[in-house]
């Protein structure tokens, strides 16, 4: 099956891919195991409303802003998408929230895998077996504990992990069909790639 990308579809794929990376890696760390002493963990791909009560425990990934520009590297025209994300952690207690927020940060920043570049593989979720179509390089990962919005108890253990992804993909991915040719560049093969 061959398809093309247009409009905000790439941003949707990037957001869903970040969410699924977190779900997979948090699962590997045991956060979904039976018998844990907290409410079942949920992973969402949406912005949490701070003024509406939400039941913990959860991680919500949301795209805050995006900028797409054309860049020319050698004879190839590429598209660069810079996307700013926030992953909101809503927990039941402070120690538990700091633990979960720290794990989310370290998954995004690739701190659990020594030597691995902090990248997110991007998949096309419209297909039964989603093919990988790009990489997003992760930068500027940090945890913030925003000030409480008034007297709202459910915000007591609310943490935000903010990060930026840069996704580079060939223009032919948006105007032609894929799968990509055999020489589709990986995250360490772009001219702007630097060792972690």
Task: Judge contact between 177 and 4, C-beta under 8 A.
Answer: yes
Output 111 or 148, whichever has higher pLDDT: 111
Mean pLDDT of 143-149: 69
Per-residue pLDDT band at 192 (split at 50, 70, 90): very low
Where in the chain are the domains? 9-65+84-165
* Mean pLDDT of the 60-68 span: 89
Q: pLDDT band at 59, cuts 50/70/90?
A: very high
pLDDT, position 176: 39
Statement: residue 101 has pLDDT above 70: yes
> Where residue 150 falls among pLDDT bands split at 50, 70, 90?
low
Q: What is the pLDDT of residue 71?
A: 75
Out of 21-30, 135-144, 162-171, least confident range: 162-171
User: Can you tell me the mean pLDDT for 145-153?
Assistant: 60
Task: Please give the average per-residue pLDDT across 100-114, as a whole number.
Answer: 85
Does the pLDDT of residue 172 top 80, yes or no?
no
Residue 178 has pLDDT above 90, yes or no: no
pLDDT in tens, 40-57: 999 988 887 777 777 888
Band (pLDDT 50/70/90 cuts) for residue 194 is very low
What integer pLDDT is reported at residue 24 of this predicted model? Answer: 93
- Give me the chain's average pLDDT, please: 77
């Amino acid at each position: 099956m061959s398809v093309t990308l247009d409009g905000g579809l790439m941003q949707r794929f990037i957001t869903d891919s970040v969410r699924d990376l977190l779900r997979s890696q948090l699962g590997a760390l045991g956060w979904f195991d039976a018998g844990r002493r907290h409410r079942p963990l949920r992973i969402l791909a949406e912005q949490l409303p701070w003024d509406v009560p939400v039941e913990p425990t959860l991680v919500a990934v949301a795209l805050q802003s995006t900028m797409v520009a054309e860049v020319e590297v050698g004879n190839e025209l590429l598209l660069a998408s810079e996307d700013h994300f926030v992953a909101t952690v809503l927990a039941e207690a402070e120690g538990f929230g700091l633990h979960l927020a720290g794990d989310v940060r370290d998954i995004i920043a690739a701190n659990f895998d020594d030597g691995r570049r902090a990248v997110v593989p991007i998949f096309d979720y419209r297909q039964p077996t989603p093919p990988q179509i790009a990489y997003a390089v992760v930068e500027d990962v940090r945890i913030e504990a925003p000030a409480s919005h008034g007297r709202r108890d459910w915000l007591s253990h609310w943490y935000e992990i903010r990060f930026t992804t840069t996704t580079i993909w060939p223009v032919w991915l948006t105007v032609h069909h894929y799968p990509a040719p055999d020489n589709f560049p990986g995250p360490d093969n772009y001219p702007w790639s630097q060792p972690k």
